Amino acid sequence: MKRLLTILFLFIVVYSHAQTEEEKLIIAVKDFHGSLVKKNTVSINQQTDKALSYGHSNGWVETKTELMKNLETGYLSYYSFTEDSISVMMNNNMASVRFVADIDVALKNTRAVYHLKVLEVWVKKGKRWILFARQALKN
């Protein structure tokens, strides 16, 4: 009986600490946005697909190479990125993530805060979620 209770206790502890795929994805999403603010291009490189399509609310679309270059040169600088109302739809190794965001950003040294609706498409490669596409709309 004591052995059974020990096994049951261990199962409960392990299960309660296990993250769902949705939780792992939300962590990846927030980590990516944090990397934008920190200009952590090493992390951004690991978190994005080589075929990345990064769409802004003004219609401008960046490739992965352009995003990295624009962050490195200061052409584009993120100061804060706050997500709200995150909604996730998963389908095997793909997921769409929708949220409302307040983004404090500067383009060519002109700083502004935008309230946007955002759709991101993430793909699971191995054990990691990778950003494949993003599109933002003015709210």
Residue 14 has what pLDDT?
A: 47
Residues 6+ apart with CB under 8 A from 99: 29, 83, 84, 85, 86, 87, 117, 118
Q: Give this prediction's pTM.
A: 0.85
Domain 20-138 has CATH 3.10.450.50: yes
Per-residue pLDDT of the chain (139 residues; tens, 9 = 90+): 666 556 655 555 445 445 799 999 999 999 999 999 999 999 999 999 999 999 999 999 999 999 999 999 999 999 999 999 999 999 999 999 999 999 999 999 999 999 999 999 999 999 999 999 999 999 7
The count of other CB atoms within 10 Å of the CB of residue 14 is: 9
Residue 7 has what pLDDT?
A: 60
Domain ranges of the chain: 20-138
The count of other CB atoms within 10 Å of the CB of residue 60 is: 12
Quote the tokens at residue 126: 């191995």
- Exposed/middle/buried for 110, CB within 10 Å: 0-12, 13-18, 19+? exposed
